[in-house]
């Protein structure tokens, strides 16, 4: 698979076979990264369902019997084992997971070998660009230094986030048509991954960041946000416009506004949604369409944010 690195309307594909040769050809084509497969399927079918959103893809796989997989290099793939067992060796570390467990299955530039036994998996593959949009790394590329979740709570949050995006957001009739929704969904998954597994993301401001987090930085960042609220902008874009690091612009907002860059962007987009609802024809417009246009894909949260900001429900504003 070659993710484009750009948010796109999700594309759904489904594949099922009981023929080992067909399964191998399909998976090699689907992942496009030198994947090798061994083992027999028996009479049971191998199934692979994918939703590709450009920046990320969610796969549901049913892998019958005992199968082996290996590759010299692969992308970043995080799996949830829903049934059966998975054993994976990478970077000298062997991990074994069963039903309910989550694992960083593969990482770029790291050879791996894996064995599955009657496994049902839900996996997320990321384009590397997603992580540069939400965090900075101590090296040239952000890497995961541990492959299992930091806690049971973190594991639960990962599974909940993936289920919400895969089962509710991407199949929604309106949400995926809006690039802001798809991009925000991908960044939510990337940020959740960083909170779930140990990694090299830099979180604490340096002395230089603290020096840069002044009013001038804040003003440049605010001007950029207000000029580009309708665009798919990230915290990395805001930091670049302010000519500082992500950590410095985050500190500037905390220090001078008591908020974060993305929370400020959300408030600006709420104002835009409020204007659209106020001016809309209730016979032609819907709250969910306006929310999606401005990047809100959780109806409950949009309503809560809106009510807090405007002391009214979005539906009340739409009705006039």
- Are 162 and 227 in a shared domain? no
User: Which of 185, 209, 231 is the last residue before a domain boundary?
Assistant: 185
Residues 19, 150 share a domain: yes
Q: Based on the fold, state whether residues 29 and 155 are members of the same structural domain.
A: yes
The span from the CA of 236 to the CA of 132, in Å, is 7
The verdict on residue 49 lying in a domain is: yes
Question: DSSP states of 124-180 as a string?
Answer: EEE-THHHHTT-EESSSS--BS-SS-SSHHHHHHHHHHHHHIIIIITT-SSGGGSHH
**Amino acid 21: pLDDT:** 87
Q: What is the pLDDT of residues 92-109, one digit of tens each?
A: 999 999 999 999 999 998
Residues 6+ apart with CB under 8 A from 26: 15, 17, 48
CA 306, CA 185: separation in Å to the nearest integer?
Answer: 20
Is 104 contained in some domain? Answer: yes
pLDDT band, very low/low/confident/very high, at 309 (cuts 50, 70, 90) = very high
- In Å, how far from its chain's centre is CA 16? 26
pLDDT at 140: 67
Which of 124-133, 146-155, 238-247, 257-266 is least confident?
124-133
Mean pLDDT of 47-53: 96
Domain count, the chain: 2
pTM over 0.85: yes
Same-domain pairing of 176 and 206: no
Question: Above 70 in pLDDT, residue 90?
Answer: yes
**Domain span at residue 168?**
11-185
**95 and 52 co-located in one domain:** yes
User: What is the model's pLDDT at position 44?
Assistant: 85
Residue 207 has pLDDT above 60, yes or no: yes
What pLDDT score does 139 carry? 63
d(CA 48, CA 25): 12
Q: Is residue 3 part of a domain?
A: no
Q: Does 295 map to a domain?
A: yes
295: exposed, middle or buried (Cβ count in 10 Å: 0-12, 13-18, 19+): buried
Shared-domain flag, residues 35 and 85: yes
298 inside domain: yes
Q: What is the mean pLDDT of residues 67-83?
A: 94
Tell me: do 221 and 114 sit in the same domain: no
Supply the CATH number for residue 248's domain: 1.10.10.60
């Amino acid at each position: 698979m070659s993710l484009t690195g750009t948010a796109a309307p999700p594309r759904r594909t489904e594949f099922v076979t009981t023929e080992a040769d067909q399964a191998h050809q399909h998976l090699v084509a689907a992942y496009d990264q030198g994947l090798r497969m061994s083992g027999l399927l028996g009479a049971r079918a191998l199934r692979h369902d994918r939703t590709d959103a450009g920046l990320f893809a969610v796969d549901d796989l049913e892998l019958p019997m005992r199968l082996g997989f290996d590759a010299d290099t692969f992308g970043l793939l995080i799996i949830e084992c829903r049934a059966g067992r998975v054993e994976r060796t990478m970077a000298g570390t062997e991990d074994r997971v069963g039903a309910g467990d989550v694992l960083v299955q593969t990482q770029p530039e790291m050879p791996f070998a894996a064995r599955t036994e009657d496994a049902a998996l839900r996996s997320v593959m990321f384009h590397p660009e997603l992580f540069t949009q939400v965090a900075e790394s101590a090296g040239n590329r952000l890497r995961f230094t541990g492959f299992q979740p930091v806690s049971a709570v973190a594991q639960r949050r990962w599974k909940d986030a993936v289920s919400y995006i895969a089962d509710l957001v991407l199949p929604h009739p309106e949400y995926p048509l809006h690039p802001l929704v798809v991009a925000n969904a991908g960044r939510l998954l990337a940020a959740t991954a960083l909170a779930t597994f140990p990694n090299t993301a830099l979180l604490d401001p340096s002395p230089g960041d603290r020096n840069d987090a002044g009013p001038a930085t804040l003003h440049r960042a605010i001007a950029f946000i207000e000029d580009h609220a309708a665009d798919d902008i990230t915290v990395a874009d805001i930091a670049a416009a302010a000519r500082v690091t992500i950590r410095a612009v985050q500190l500037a907002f905390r220090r001078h506004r008591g908020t974060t860059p993305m929370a400020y962007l959300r408030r600006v987009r709420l104002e835009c949604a409020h204007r659209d609802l106020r001016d809309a024809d209730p016979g032609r417009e819907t709250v969910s369409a306006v929310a999606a246009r401005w990047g809100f894909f959780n109806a409950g949260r949009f309503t809560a944010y809106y009510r807090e900001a405007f002391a009214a429900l979005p539906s009340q504003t739409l009705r006039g």
